């Protein structure tokens, strides 16, 4: 089901990219980056916004328990005025273990994934062993799909190992036209 959905999305994205390929790149400014990890999974996790334009994200996790499953739920909400409520733009659930091991290149998910892992020691297969995992200078500006409108963003990412929630991430920011 996931791959049918992805294929469909790939075609839509291709069309959108063809329509927008001359459009200027946009900037992303992060205002808030929060991570909550279950205490049995990590004694220390740091999530911070960095860069001169607040456009990059940094993450460090000292993983204390091996992870053999990474069910991932991502929800992106948007609003066009800082005073309006956020509305769900889209959400997706996927198997994180499959994504890190057999990522199909050239898709929206792979572009995002590559932006996240570029300066990281992200393991490339499950189970994820204990130890320090870091992601430095995550910049998703270039990977940001054109179909996401210039707006205020609220991103929620929840990770589950088997049925258990182990990590919740929330991000708030703004997409700015250059
Ligand atoms: C993540 O959020 C859900 C729902 O708000 C909550 O039930 C769960 O305990 C949270 N998990 C962590 C690791 O904080
Ligand atoms: C992250 O970016 C900053 C500023 O551009 C740079 O000084 C630093 O070396 C970068 N770190 C890594 C790990 O790429």
Judge if the beta carbon of residue 168 lies within 6 A of ligand 1: yes
Judge if the beta carbon of residue 156 lies within 6 A of ligand 1: no
- The reported pLDDT for the residue numbered 149 is 85
pTM: 0.82
Residues 6+ apart with CB under 8 A from 168: 35, 36, 156, 157, 158, 159
Q: Residue 96, Cβ neighbours under 10 Å: how many?
A: 18
CA of 134 to the centre of ligand 2 (A): 13
When pLDDT is cut at 50, 70 and 90, the band that residue 21 belongs to is very low
* pLDDT of 15 strictly over 90: no
- The reported pLDDT for the residue numbered 162 is 84
Per-residue pLDDT tens digits for 34-83:
999 999 999 989 999 999 999 999 999 999 999 999 999 999 999 999 99
Nearest one of 83, 72, 50, 95 to 155, comparing CA atoms: 72
CA atoms within 13 A on the CB side of 97: 13
When pLDDT is cut at 50, 70 and 90, the band that residue 144 belongs to is confident
Atom 8, ligand 1: which residue's CA is nearest?
165
Atom 13, ligand 2: which residue's CA is nearest?
136
CB 131 within 8 A of CB 42: no
Atom 7, ligand 1: which residue's CA is nearest?
165
Which residues line the pocket of ligand 2, CB cutoff 6 A?
119, 136-137
When pLDDT is cut at 50, 70 and 90, the band that residue 107 belongs to is confident
Q: Which ligand 2 atom lies nearest to the CA of residue 137?
A: 1
Residues 6+ apart with CB under 8 A from 165: 38, 158, 159
């Amino acid at each position: 089901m996931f791959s049918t959905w992805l294929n469909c999305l790939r075609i839509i994205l291709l069309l959108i990219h063809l329509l927008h390929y001359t459009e200027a790149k946009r900037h992303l400014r992060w205002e808030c980056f929060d991570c909550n990890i279950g205490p049995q999974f990590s004694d220390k996790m740091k999530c911070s916004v960095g860069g001169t334009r607040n456009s990059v994200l940094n993450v460090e996790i000292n993983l204390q328990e091996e992870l053999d499953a990474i069910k991932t739920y991502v929800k992106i909400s948007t609003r066009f005025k800082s005073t309006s409520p956020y509305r769900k733009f889209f959400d997706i659930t996927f198997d994180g273990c499959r994504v890190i091991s057999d990522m199909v290149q050239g898709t929206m998910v792979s572009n995002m994934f590559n932006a996240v892992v570029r300066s990281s020691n992200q393991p490339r297969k499950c189970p994820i062993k204990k130890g320090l995992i870091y992601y430095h200078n995550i910049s998703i500006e270039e990977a940001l799909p054109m179909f996401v409108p210039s707006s205020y963003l609220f991103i929620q990412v929840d990770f589950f190992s088997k049925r258990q929630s182990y990590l919740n991430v929330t991000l708030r920011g703004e997409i700015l036209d250059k």
